[in-house]
Structure 1
Amino acid sequence: MEEEVVSKGTAVVACTAMTLSYVAILYAPTLILRLPRPPSFNSFMIRRFVCAAISSIVSLLICALILPIRRKEASVLLGVYGIQVDHIWQAVVFPVFLTSLMYAGSLVLKSLVLVESWRDNVNHSEGVSLECIKIIIQKLIASIVSVTSNVLAWRNFVVAPLTEELVFRACMIPLLLCGGFKPYTVIYLCPIFFSLAHLNHLMEFYSKQNYSLVKTSMVVGLQLGYTVIFGSYASFLFIRTGHLIAPLAAHMFCNFMGLPVLFSRRNGMVSIAFVAGMVGFLSLLFPMTRPDLYNYRSNNCKCWHGYCSWS
Structure 2
Amino acid sequence: MAAEEDLSPNFLTDEIEHSNGVFVPPDGVCWVSVLSCLMLACSYVGSLYVWRSPLPRDHPTVIKRRFTSVLIVSGLSPLFVWAWRAFTGVRTGSSLLALMGIRFEGLIPAILLPLLLTMVLFLGPLMQLAMDCPWTFIDGIRVAIDPLYWSLCFNDMRWLRNQVVAPLTEELVFRACMLPMLVPCAGLSTAIFTCPLFFGVAHFHHIIELLRFRQGTLSGIFLSAVFQFSYTAVFGAYTAFIFIRTGHLLGPVLCHSFCNYMGFPAISTALEHPHRCTVLGCYVLGVVLFFLFLFPFTDPSYYGLPTPVCTLSPAPSSLCIS
Shorter chain as normaliser: what TM range?
0.7 to 0.9
1:298 aligns with 2:283: no
**1:59 equivalenced with 2:96 (yes/no):** no
Q: Deviations over 1:117-166 (max 9, x none)?
A: 559xxxxxxxxxxxxx8999579956544322210011001111111111
Q: In the alignment, which residue of structure 2 is the partner of 1:273?
A: 282
Q: Does 1:48 align with 2:66?
A: yes
Q: Distance in 1 between matches of 2:175 and 2:313?
A: 11
Check if 1:16 corresponds to 2:38.
Answer: yes
2-structure distance, mates of 1:134, 1:198:
37
For 2:103 and 2:67, the matched residues in 1 are separated by 24
Change (3 A) 1:288 1:139: closer
SS at match of 1:186: helix
Counterpart of 1:10, as a letter, is V
AA matched with 1:211: G
Identity of aligned residues (%): 33
Q: Which amino acid aligns with 1:275?
A: V
Counterparts of 1:124-273 in structure 2 under 5 Å? 141=146, 144-178=150-184, 180-262=185-267, 263-266=270-273, 267-268=275-276, 269-273=278-282
User: How many residues of Structure 1 are paired with residues of Structure 2 in the alignment?
Assistant: 287
**CA distance in 2: counterparts of 1:270 and 1:134, whole angstroms:** 22
Change beyond 3 A, Cα 1:236–1:306: farther
Q: Is the 8 A contact 2:188 2:310 kept in 1?
A: no
Alpha-carbon offset, residue 307 of structure 1: 10
Query: Which runs of 5 or more structure 1 residues have no equivalent in the other structure?
Result: 120-132
Using a 3 Å threshold, how does the CA distance of structure 1 residues 118 and 284 change in structure 2: closer, same or farther?
A: closer
- In the TM superposition, residue 102 of structure 1 has moved relative to its aligned partner by 1.4
Distance in 1 between residues matched to 2:272 and 2:55, nearest whole Å? 45
Q: CA deviation at 1:260?
A: 2.3
Of residues 287, 292, 308, the one that matches 2:296 is: 287
What code does the residue aligned with 1:288 have?
Answer: F
Using the TM superposition, give the Cα deviation of residue 201 of structure 1 relative to its aligned residue in structure 2, in angstroms.
0.2
Contact 1:162 1:248 in 2 (8 A): yes
Q: Contact 1:109 / 1:270 at 8 angstroms: preserved in 2?
A: yes
Gaps of 5+ in 2: 5-15, 17-24
1:92 aligns with 2:111: yes
Query: Corresponding residue for 1:122?
Result: none
Say if 1:82 and 1:243, in contact at 8 Å, map to a contact too: yes
